[in-house]
Structure 1
Amino acid sequence: MMAAIVPNTPSVPLRYSTPVGGVAGTSFKPEHLPAILDAGPQRDFFEVHAENYMGAGGPPHRALETIRRDHPLSLHGVCMSIGGPQPLDKAHLARFRGLVARYQPALVSEHLAWSTHETSFFNDLLPLPYTDATLRCVCDHIDQVQEAIRRPLLLENPSTYVAFQDSSMSETNFIRSVAERTGCGLLLDVNNVFVSATNHGFSALEYLADFPLAHVGEIHLAGHAEQADDEGDLLLIDSHDGPVTDAVWKLYEIVIQRRGPVPTLIEWDSKIPDWPMLRAEAAAAQTILDHCAETALMENRHAA
């Protein structure tokens, strides 16, 4: 049955299937392809949403195959509904597995969220209560995904706008428990931390101090939008439609100093800028990553 839905493997060998290290990358947008090709192979990687490539072929796959020949790839799922109470959609999981097999991405990730209910699919990443029952369900779903793709999955912390009264543990403790029980890695979205901290009135620094950084295998950075809630208070939206803010850059530097360099992705999914502007955001992240690596190298030399 898998043969009917897994796309054919490209004829050109794919060269990147190992971790990309402390490198900054960007979301891949087809309109940037000519500029990317003109620049030639770079020290970077590209991330795509898996659901945009679940067809068998056509222009999306031709563009992605072109990028994949010379650049590492991060495959980011947005519709697996890891946190949902229902069983995982087997057809969706099979398509996801097929993409992993086809493109051999360096990184594979999904969200700690849910987006389906019975036969309905929501165009959003919805929060979940942090309870023992939810923990068991999330771990079971991650086990199924990792068994299907035969590799660890990176789980992304959410941006949230509501909290559940019946939550019995903190978000950081919940995420830590998931990583320890399933062996999955974590994708730390620093912008999500800042958005949630602002919306719920907690300290982003305290959240990061309690976050299990040792499990982090990738970091996301993005822009957010400012709105007002019904009471006129500031409400941040994880919009991915602008540059990374100064506050998020500062948090990112703190994380890198504590965790060390890890692959870092600039997400920009609407109001797409020209390629030079997006590339400049990645270059700013790369500067922070390189500075951290150089500092660690000098400290090791002095220690020796």
Structure 2
Amino acid sequence: MRPTAGLGLKPQHYADALAAEDEGLWFEVHPENYMAAGGPRLRALEAIRRQHPLSLHGVGLSLAADADPDPTHLAALKALADRFEPFVVSEHLAWSAWRGVHQPDLLPFPRTRAALDRIAGNIGRTQDALGRTILVENPSLYLPLTGHDYDETDFLAQLARRTGCGLLVDVNNVFVSASNLGYAAEAYLDALPAGAIGEIHLAGHGPDEGGSALLIDTHGAPVAEPVWTLYRRLVGRIGPRPTLIERDDDIPAFAVLMAERDRAHEMLTGTGASACPQPVQEPAHV
């Protein structure tokens, strides 16, 4: 089955996922939740994998850290990927571990030449260990950092060119970062190399609890209409890509998430009133 639009898989939805027969439906999991020798979660994932494609979306490799990826973590990730054969493996352009200390967040960094060399090396080590290419996701940003040598879109394009990795474009992250840092989300998306984009994420956001204008990438709300508008613009330019609806907090019933998923599916497949226009053809990524 060719993946079109999918959902992040939650334990409370295992039975619903097993019963679903929708065209193109796929599921994403964080591999860190399944790096175990056995148990009910792995048994459920095996059953779902027999019916639907899976993707692995990592949160623990800390690719932007000033250190190589943890070899034990890489070995566990490879074992999981070999077992479940996901159609894609992805990670975040961020760091979360340093000198043995693990932070409960995906943290930013100055996009310097040294950082480009280091992260490209870490992506290369990851791809060599897994025996496959990965996708790298753009971050959500909340405060401006100084010392950049590259715009973020240039940095991502450089990583793709150097390592052969692809890009996972989180449209909600683009919207949140653009709002917080004061740039145009449309220009950001238009600058990304179309041929490198292997997957798209859509999620919800919300205001900072402090009452400021800051937006937080909460994954705890429906996809906002401005994000759908940006998504339509992106798919209209680059063509269909597997698209995920992310929801990690205040998780509603499976049917509620499937309604959002179906909206993305209609855009990707050209069915329904929300179908996207034919994309403008662009040179393939090299």
TM-score range, shorter chain: over 0.9
AA aligned to 1:157 is N
Is this contact kept in 2: 1:241–1:269, CA < 8 A? yes
Contact 1:188 1:220 in 2 (8 A): yes
The Cα of 1:41 is off from its aligned counterpart by 6.1
Q: How does 1:1-304 map to 2 (within 5 A)?
A: 20-21=2-3, 23-40=4-21, 42-227=23-208, 233-291=212-270, 296=278
Deviation of 1:233 (Å) = 3.6
Partner of 1:6: none
Q: Give the structure with higher Rg (CA).
A: 1
Deviations 1:76-134 (A, max 9, x none): 00010001112211101111111111111001100000000111101100011100000
What does the per-residue CA deviation read over 1:136-177, in whole Å, with 9 as the maximum and x for residues that have no partner? Answer: 000000001111111110000000112321111111111110
How far off its partner does 1:263 sit?
A: 0.2
Are 2:110 and 2:148, in contact at CA under 8 Å, matched by a contact in 1? Answer: yes
Partner AA of 2:132 in structure 1:
R
CA 295–174 in structure 1, closer or farther in 2 if over 3 Å, else same: closer
Secondary structure of the structure 2 residue equivalent to 1:234: coil
Partner of 2:284: none
CA distance in 1, matches of 2:144, 2:83: 38
1:302: which partner in 2? Answer: none
Q: Distance in 2 between matches of 1:269 and 1:130?
A: 28
Which segments of 5 or more consecutive residues in structure 1 lack a partner in the other structure? 1-15, 300-304
User: Identity across aligned pairs (percent)?
Assistant: 47
Query: In 2, Cα distance between the equivalents of 1:30 and 1:123?
Result: 21
Residue 287 of structure 1 deviates from its aligned partner by: 1.1
Sort the Cα spacing of 1:287 and 1:91 in 2 relative to 1 into closer, same or farther, 3 A. same
Contact kept in structure 1, 2:232 and 2:276, CA below 8 Å: no
User: Is contact 1:41–1:70 with CA below 8 Å preserved after alignment?
Assistant: no
Q: Which moved more, 1:248-257 or 1:59-68?
A: 59-68
Structure 2: stretches of 5+ with no match in the other structure? 282-286
Q: State how many pairs are aligned.
A: 277
Shift of 1:267: 0.4
Against the structure 1 CA distance between its residues 27 and 116, is the aligned structure 2 distance closer, same or farther, given a 3 Å change threshold?
same
Q: Give the match's secondary structure for 1:244.
A: coil
With the length of structure 1 as denominator, give the TM-score of the two structures: 0.87
CA contact (8 A) 1:228 1:234 kept: no
